[in-house]
Chain A
Amino acid sequence: NAGVTQTPKFRILKIGQSMTLQCTQDMNHNYMYWYRQDPGMGLKLIYYSVGAGITDKGEVPNGYNVSRSTTEDFPLRLELAAPSQTSVYFCASSYGTGGEAFFGQGTRLTVV
């Protein structure tokens, strides 16, 4: 059982470039989330989805976009990368509300 798989694990972007962080889960979870983790700041929710075709903004959505065309996939798009987007990004999924969230291993992104 793979759980939540994120790619790539590491990436260096130049300012102004764009990229997509991939996230796939094989647990048939309805809920999926994107977080960013900065040192000493905990996790901040970027976007989340409660099912295919439905997405909503979290606490820090600016500079990001998401789509959810299937239950399994929830890619995060960064347009016009900025140094402030240097962070570790985690994708997570859960079966429903109020339950355990399963996390991927993270993508460490550096914008220079």
Chain B
Amino acid sequence: QQQVKQSPQSLIVQKGGIPIINCAYENTAFDYFPWYQQFPGKGPALLIAIRPDVSEKKEGRFTISFNKSAKQFSLHIMDSQPGDSATYFCAASNMDSNYQLIWGAGTKLIIKP
């Protein structure tokens, strides 16, 4: 019940395309859903996060869509650029677990020029 399932494992998109990465969870008590971006040789860095009181959040070219009833959330990258090539992790947490993040397995995204 504590798992976060992320798909796909890897994704290749042409520049300008809209990659979509999906995550699903089971614990309905989760109330914080961040996305982290990791470049090779670096630690993950927070990209964008959402709480379940909204269905969508945009920050620049990055959008989180949240479907509470389906227990799913996804990351969309508009007008993708080669510099967006990285590994993306979704995560979830809640107060009951002292906000320990439960991580998805990651998606390696490659944006082709």
Contacts and interface: CB of A to CB of B under 8 A. Distances in A.
Nearest to B100: A45
A98 B93 contact: yes
Given A50-B98, A98-B99, A101-B101, A40 B43 contact: no
A53 interface: no
A44 B44 CA distance: 13
Contact of B42 (A42, A44, A58, A106): A106
Interface bin, chain A: 20 to 34
Nearest to A106: B43
Interface of B: 6, 9, 31-32, 34, 41-46, 49, 89, 93, 95, 98-101, 103-106
Task: Give 5 closest A-B pairs by Cβ, nearest first.
Answer: A103-B43, A97-B99, A42-B103, A42-B105, A100-B46
Looking at chain A's contact residues, the main secondary structure is loop
B36 to A, nearest CB: 8
A92 interface: yes
Contacts of A50: 98
A97 B100 CA distance: 8
A40 B106 contact: yes
Contacts of A41: 105
Interface in A35-80: 40-45, 48, 50, 58
Contacts of B89: 42-43
Contacts of B44: 43, 90, 101, 103
A36 B93 CA distance: 18
B32 A98 contact: yes
B43 A105 contact: yes
A91 to B, nearest CB: 8
A58 B100 contact: yes
Contacts of B101: 43, 45, 101
A100 B35 CA distance: 10
